[in-house]
Structure 1
Amino acid sequence: MYDAVHHSSPGPFADTSLLQAIDYVESLFPITGWITRYNFGWLYGDVVAGLTVGIVVVPQSMSYAQLATLSPEYGLYSAFVGVLIYCLFATSKDVSIGPVAVMSLLIAQIIKHVQNSHGDQWSNPQIATTVAFICGLIVLGIGLLRLGWLVEFIPAPAVSGFMTGSAINIVAGQVPGLMGISGFDTRAEPYKVIINTLKGLPRTKLDAAWGLTGLFSLYAIRFACDWATKKWPRRRQVFFFISVFRNAFVLIILTLASFLYCRHRKSSSGKYPIKILQNVPRGFQHVGAPVIDGDLLSALASEIPVATIILLLEHIAISKSFGRLNGYKINPNQELIAIGVTNLVGTCFAAYPATGSFSRSALKSKSGVRTPAAGILTAVIVIVALYGLTPAFFWIPTAGLSAVIIHAVADLVTPPSQVYSFWKVSPLEFFIWLAAVLVTIFSTIENGIYTSICASIALLLIRIAQPRGYFLGRVDLHSPATQTKAPASREVYLPLKLKPSLYNSDIKVIPPAPGVIVYRLEESFIYPNSSRVNSDIVDYVKAYTKRGLDISTIKLSDRPWNDPGPRPGQDERAENERKPLLRAIVFDFSSVSQIDTTGVQSLIDTRTEVERWANQHVEFHFASILSPWIRRALVAGGFGTGVPSHHIPTEIASVVPYHLHSSNHKAPEKEADIEERAVPELRIGSGSSSAPINLEDTPFFHLDIVEAVRAAEGTAAHEASRVDDEDSIDVKS
């Protein structure tokens, strides 16, 4: 008996939990889903792409390390770890991880910030590695907690504006190095750097011969290859690889020229006539556990948020873009895990923060990459450079590296056609783009990214708090008869005031029957906008419907302060009699996906105010309710069931602990729960093909706007005829 019990099955729940745990662990390593099916067809594309990116990433990494005020080898460390580790966690075959221009510039600014505050207490590499560790840990946590959706709060124009401003910032800071101009801070605000560069043009040194020649050659090769591709399309692959290798080719020529010129011109003080890289340590010199100083963490606290935002924002934007172009979908949470692990592992190699590179990812995609495994071959190229080519790096001119940086980041500037698209699609987002660019240029990258994020969130809140709402009228559409179909007509509801730019000016919108108002809200009905909707409806009711109580006979002294009566010479009674009496309000909820307690309370307040104005019961009809939760909330507020409003409390959730309900508002008798009401059956279609739709006992909830308006107009017509009958009886009597 003991053995039977001891070895009994743990049950289906335990098995399910175990399977879920296994699936979760496997999802952290997407490589397990495709590596077992790897084939030689994929291998050819990966080898070509890996070699191509490897040849480009070596000079770029050293250039970006210089931009980050680090030695060139640190850029190679980041490149190696980035391309190797990312392939294990990637959900994108195209993205290449490593040093990027924007993050490198930010690292330089962070180093400057820390050293201005604490002096030389920590070295530049230690500061950069600590930033990589903290940012990697934060991004990894965001990915593991599946919070990648937070990135969606930042729209594309904001990212584009920030990237454009950063590119201009980088170019401005590299021009002095390109020209050999010194004597001022190239990490200052871009506009100051530009001004100081123009002032320093007379101090241009011999470095400009290498820098300008390199920059001109890079663009000349690129444009020549583009022209040749159009001229001889059959040779496009050849011209593509010639264009790809232009960075390495130009840097080799400049290095050779530097070697020939400088080798016999070393001064007595040990300086060369132009700035060169000189000693680049061979291999991995700083492998080991990262040194994390608590005081340094405190000094970096204010800089970590913007570094983290850039780290994840740039990568997600790039990976999504290439996923759309190449027909696959990335997993944002898994991409964040990949970035987090890459940077955490990178700290053991003394790497500084790495993220997705736009230029190298585009190159990898165009090279025909088939799987993320191409990164392994790229890592091999970086190792070869670290262990076999460091003596040749000695003679690389820094002006040539500046040319490589300027050429690479110039592609990050948003082209005018794209800016014009922002303006055409959404002028407000265009101004967000413009603000991000200007703030980045005239301030810092940090302020630029915060400006774009804050402006985007502010625009989102404004759109929610200031929703578009329209008072609707009917338009009859008629379709002509064809050979297979008889003539037909249908009703649609459009705004009473049509914009000529959107609709044909010949369209005539027929207002609803007198006493009926039709309103459509184009947002969820929630707490930021509920007060605005209430004001719009109540103001419209007071402007276009008759007051139910004749107060023209009431003394002015007895009238409330907020309704003091007509101005001198104004006949209030005559104006009031020309308007119809409000009978019903129809709400089109086809665009409302959510409603909350404040929204329901606002509807109750609206009903109270319009009934006080009309001095009678007003029906509230709702059409095209999308969610059962919206239906439930409205029923809880006393709508849809046909129960008169004087039987319903005027507050659904009292804020102050004081009973404000008047004595004539009796509590309704105990009713069945919302879910337990009688459910009549409504059928759509005819014959055996009809499908039943179960609805609650809510006669004022309708399937579409046409049905809702007809019901409201029927009520209005019935009430009008009843009033006419009563008036005729009074006259006869």
Structure 2
Amino acid sequence: MSLSSVKRLGKRVIDYPEETVPVASVTEWVGNLINNPVQRAKRYLLSLFPIITWIGRYNVGWLTGDVIAGLTVGMVVVPQGMSYAQIATLAPEYGLYSSFVGVLIYCFFATSKDVSIGPVAVMSLTVSQVIKYVQQHHPNQYTGPVIATALAFICGFIVLGIGLLRLGWLVEFISAPAVSGFMTGSAISIAAGQVPGLMGITGFDTRAATYKVIINTLKGLPRTKLDAAFGLTGLFFLYAIRYTCLTLERRFPRRARVFFFISVLRNAFVILILTIAAWLYCRHRKVGGKYPIKILLTVPSGFKHVKQPTVNSNILSALAPKLPVATIILLLEHIAISKSFGRLNGYKIDPNQELIAIGVTNTVGSCFGAYPATGSFSRSALKSKSGVRTPLAGVITAIVVIVALYGLTSAFFWIPTAGLSAIIIHAVADLVASPAQVYSYWRVSPLEFLIWVAAVLVTVFSSIENGIYTSIAASLALLLIRVARPRGSFLGKVTIRSSDSDTQREVFVSLTKDNVTNPHVKVVPPSPGVLVYRFEESYLYPNVSITNSVLVDYVKANLRRGKDMSNVKLRDRPWNDPGPSRHGGEADQAVNERKPILHAIVLDFSSVSHIDTTAVQTLIDTRTEVEKWADHPVEFHFAPILSPWIRRALVAGGFGIGISSSRTTPDFAAVVPHDGRSFKETEIDRDDDPESGDIKKDSDVSVSEFEPVVPVDTPFFHIDLAAAVRAAESGVKHGRS
């Protein structure tokens, strides 16, 4: 359709002779991918080491904040590292190895200043279950440390590959309630598994399903030992110091930072007091080679287990069934933590680079005897509140761990294991979702609340592995359901009048009550014979059948059938379309005659960002079905088209092009200065348009001032929904005239 056939916009419009409007080109798309390969490669290599971008600007002010944060985290990570090694059923020094390598290496690859890498509770519990699984299926072949270091190397290598290939976006498919449910269930499992150690109860497997551990713990309460005096006392003081400091912070806000650091040191303080108490009580009470309470005993100083990890085909096959869940936990927990602190402190993390960071951390750490490490929520929060300025604070923390590993191991001998259990329970309690958070899931999305509940229950009554798989599967299932069964609605008009002026405009809302718009507002349907339908998802192969059925069924129920089936013999009717009954044919035909004739269908594509081959073919089928019902051509209008590829796909399906019966003019907009293309002026004759009205001509309009926003060779594509509906309705009026 040439521009000379369009008959509005002031006095003149522009006609570009023999010009075709370009469509999206595959060549251009490929060209954008391979554009400047050298520069892209250079940027990629530089992105692998983010430290290069900021280390040159390092200053004394940053150093002060990093030293304070690094020392603070170091005071916490030493007792936590040994405690988490206890969860992993490893000797305490392995927790220190993981703590040292994690905080040291991460700073060179980090895009987050707040995250602290090291042993964490959930990963430690997973390691214990992996060790148990391998030793059950391959008895007397591999020790716990060999399995743990091999797991760290293999999982680290997998995560490193995911990061290098820039596949970090895969984590986005797991919803926040699913992660929260899995973390809550894991925290309950860890806490339940530490209660026997807190009370000195033995005689059953603390790595069994959580509900079994809880039942056996309750049965074993009569067997409580003296360890409970140390464990319960430590747990009491941990919470007492915490809540006392919080109360004092609120009462004395000027001293808030002092009380904060006192609260931070509670782990080290409690362990120190319990260690002194254990030493005073146990040093002269060794009977039969055993002490009256369970203590940590000898912790080797330095790196006694530095060696190449044992990785061969046998151990790889033994670990294979557990690698997916370990890898998922490794990357999922870290990405969730780094993103949350990035949002909290106003910077953006690179998920792929973060995966590279923990991948390198674990592959290198396995050579130091470290077991899998990832981001810690509690230590990251502590690091952030301590005023950390750059990732270099991790080096300070690493120094603290080295000092402890070489200079304090003799003191670690007397640490009561019940005290470490108290620290673990106190730490993982923060991972349990609060009632307010859980209620917010219910308020926002009841289905996601059910995913949260399912993740918690499966983790508690089965295993962490099944819990993470359940949460992931439920998240993906919900996503597919939402894509496959999208919402959509037929629209009508509402006239909006501004309260502070006389201006008014038309908006389009659902014709049916949707609990969004005011039910008392009058919604006017479009002109008879025009349907307006809004998509609420992209138009893709999982949902096209639903949309096709909605449109076709609505047309058959509400628009006139073009062909009088009462005159068609029974043997000529389709088997699935009996038509009007023999006795009530006249009445049925009278009802049909009262229905409006279908003229146009307007599709609101404002939420459609992608369209595929199946969708275009289904749209063609929809057009065929409604035209067969109406027994004449039906116009399909689209607004707005968000992507050149959507335009290309629709044009390829035969939509958008052709001659429209519309009597409206496309929307024009001011253009950039003339670029040298040839054009000619076209005078507008308004007299041949009965609906144009007597509009005053403006002789000052320049031919180079305006062009159509949407190319005129696609008259069924419109810039917005209002323009599309006006075009469709004007076509109905023109057809009647």
TM over 0.5: yes
The range that moved more, 564-573 or 155-164, is 564-573
1:535 aligns with 2:533: no
> Which residue of 2 is the match for residue 272 of structure 1?
291
Partners of 1:679 and 1:696 within 8 A in 2: no
The CA distance in 2 between the partners of 1:192 and 1:567, in whole Å, is 67
The CA distance in 1 between the partners of 2:632 and 2:708, in whole Å, is 36
> Which residue of 2 is the match for residue 420 of structure 1?
439
**TM-score, normalising length from structure 2?**
0.88
> Which residue of 1 is the match for residue 448 of structure 2?
429
Deviation of 1:563 after TM superposition, in Å, equals 1.2
> Which residue of 2 is the match for residue 599 of structure 1?
615
The CA distance in 2 between the partners of 1:460 and 1:643, in whole Å, is 40
Out of 680, 683, 695, the residue aligned to residue 711 of structure 2 is 695
> Which residue of 1 is the match for residue 511 of structure 2?
496
> Which residue of 2 is the match for residue 324 of structure 1?
343
Q: Secondary structure at the match of 1:301?
A: helix
> Which residue of 1 is the match for residue 411 of structure 2?
392
Deviation of 1:63 after TM superposition, in Å, equals 0.2
Q: Judging changes above 3 Å, is the alpha-carbon distance between structure 1 residues 255 and 680 closer, same or farther for their aligned structure 2 residues?
A: farther
The CA distance in 2 between the partners of 1:417 and 1:680, in whole Å, is 67
> Which residue of 2 is the match for residue 726 of structure 1?
none
Q: Secondary structure at the match of 1:528?
A: coil
Q: Secondary structure at the match of 1:631?
A: helix
Which string of whole-angstrom CA distances, capped at 9 and with x for unpartnered residues, describes residues 369-391 of structure 1?
A: 11111111111111111111111
Q: Secondary structure at the match of 1:302?
A: helix
Partners of 1:680 and 1:695 within 8 A in 2: no
The CA distance in 1 between the partners of 2:454 and 2:386, in whole Å, is 36
> Which residue of 1 is the match for residue 578 of structure 2?
564
> Which residue of 1 is the match for residue 391 of structure 2?
372
> Which residue of 2 is the match for residue 348 of structure 1?
367
The CA distance in 2 between the partners of 1:361 and 1:336, in whole Å, is 17
1:619 aligns with 2:629: no
> Which residue of 2 is the match for residue 116 of structure 1?
136
Deviation of 1:434 after TM superposition, in Å, equals 1.1
> Which residue of 1 is the match for residue 525 of structure 2?
511
Deviation of 1:579 after TM superposition, in Å, equals 1.0
The CA distance in 1 between the partners of 2:163 and 2:183, in whole Å, is 23
> Which residue of 1 is the match for residue 229 of structure 2?
209
**CA-atom RMSD in angstroms:** 2.1
Out of 370, 380, 383, the residue aligned to residue 402 of structure 2 is 383
Residue correspondence of structure 1 range 125-204 to structure 2 within 5 A: 125-204=145-224
Which string of whole-angstrom CA distances, capped at 9 and with x for unpartnered residues, describes residues 509-544 of structure 1?
A: 111111111111111111111111110000000000
Extract unaligned runs of 5+ from structure 1: 1-13, 645-677, 722-733
> Which residue of 1 is the match for residue 558 of structure 2?
544
Residue correspondence of structure 1 range 226-265 to structure 2 within 5 A: 226-265=246-285
The letter of the residue matching 1:410 is: A
Q: Secondary structure at the match of 1:285?
A: coil
Which string of whole-angstrom CA distances, capped at 9 and with x for unpartnered residues, describes residues 229-277 of structure 1?
A: 1111111111111100000100111111111111111112x11111111
Which string of whole-angstrom CA distances, capped at 9 and with x for unpartnered residues, describes residues 350-401 of structure 1?
A: 1000000000000001001111111111111111111111111111111100
> Which residue of 1 is the match for residue 93 of structure 2?
73
Deviation of 1:567 after TM superposition, in Å, equals 5.9
Partners of 1:620 and 1:640 within 8 A in 2: yes
The CA distance in 2 between the partners of 1:16 and 1:641, in whole Å, is 37
The letter of the residue matching 1:382 is: V
The CA distance in 2 between the partners of 1:694 and 1:600, in whole Å, is 21
Which string of whole-angstrom CA distances, capped at 9 and with x for unpartnered residues, describes residues 300-341 of structure 1?
A: 101001101100110011011111111111111111111000
Deviation of 1:557 after TM superposition, in Å, equals 4.2
The letter of the residue matching 2:421 is: S
Q: Secondary structure at the match of 2:304?
A: coil
1:42 aligns with 2:65: no
Which string of whole-angstrom CA distances, capped at 9 and with x for unpartnered residues, describes residues 619-657 of structure 1?
A: 11112111111111111111111269xxxxxxxxxxxxx
The CA distance in 2 between the partners of 1:643 and 1:526, in whole Å, is 28
> Which residue of 2 is the match for residue 404 of structure 1?
423
Which string of whole-angstrom CA distances, capped at 9 and with x for unpartnered residues, describes residues 650-677 of structure 1?
A: xxxxxxxxxxxxxxxxxxxxxxxxxxxx
1:708 aligns with 2:724: yes
Partners of 1:318 and 1:358 within 8 A in 2: yes
Extract unaligned runs of 5+ from structure 2: 1-33, 661-678, 683-697
Q: Secondary structure at the match of 1:520?
A: strand
1:718 aligns with 2:734: yes
The CA distance in 2 between the partners of 1:692 and 1:640, in whole Å, is 15
Out of 579, 588, 594, the residue aligned to residue 578 of structure 1 is 594
Which string of whole-angstrom CA distances, capped at 9 and with x for unpartnered residues, describes residues 182-217 of structure 1?
A: 111111111111111111111111111111111011
1:642 aligns with 2:632: no
Q: Judging changes above 3 Å, is the alpha-carbon distance between structure 1 residues 323 and 473 closer, same or farther for their aligned structure 2 residues?
A: same
The letter of the residue matching 2:548 is: N
The CA distance in 1 between the partners of 2:409 and 2:230, in whole Å, is 20
> Which residue of 1 is the match for residue 666 of structure 2?
none
Q: Secondary structure at the match of 2:709?
A: strand
> Which residue of 1 is the match for residue 81 of structure 2?
61
Deviation of 1:423 after TM superposition, in Å, equals 1.3
The letter of the residue matching 1:494 is: V
Partners of 1:66 and 1:72 within 8 A in 2: yes
Count of aligned positions: 666
Partners of 1:77 and 1:351 within 8 A in 2: yes
Deviation of 1:545 after TM superposition, in Å, equals 0.7
> Which residue of 1 is the match for residue 322 of structure 2?
303
**TM-score, normalising length from structure 1?**
0.88
> Which residue of 1 is the match for residue 685 of structure 2?
none
Deviation of 1:556 after TM superposition, in Å, equals 3.4
1:338 aligns with 2:357: yes
Q: Judging changes above 3 Å, is the alpha-carbon distance between structure 1 residues 680 and 458 closer, same or farther for their aligned structure 2 residues?
A: farther
The letter of the residue matching 2:120 is: V
Q: Judging changes above 3 Å, is the alpha-carbon distance between structure 1 residues 339 and 233 closer, same or farther for their aligned structure 2 residues?
A: same
The CA distance in 2 between the partners of 1:201 and 1:639, in whole Å, is 75
The CA distance in 2 between the partners of 1:567 and 1:279, in whole Å, is 94
Looking at both structures, which has the greater relative contact order when contacts are Cα pairs under 8 Å and sequence separation is at least 6? Answer: 2
The CA distance in 1 between the partners of 2:680 and 2:381, in whole Å, is 58
Q: Secondary structure at the match of 1:34?
A: helix
Q: Judging changes above 3 Å, is the alpha-carbon distance between structure 1 residues 129 and 550 closer, same or farther for their aligned structure 2 residues?
A: same
Q: Percent identity?
A: 71
The letter of the residue matching 2:137 is: S
1:291 aligns with 2:291: no
The CA distance in 2 between the partners of 1:217 and 1:44, in whole Å, is 31
Which string of whole-angstrom CA distances, capped at 9 and with x for unpartnered residues, describes residues 579-622 of structure 1?
A: 11211111111111111111111111001101111111111111
The letter of the residue matching 2:553 is: D
Out of 275, 281, 299, the residue aligned to residue 300 of structure 2 is 281
Partners of 1:680 and 1:696 within 8 A in 2: no
Partners of 1:102 and 1:166 within 8 A in 2: yes
The letter of the residue matching 1:518 is: V
The CA distance in 2 between the partners of 1:196 and 1:616, in whole Å, is 76
Partners of 2:710 and 2:718 within 8 A in 1: no
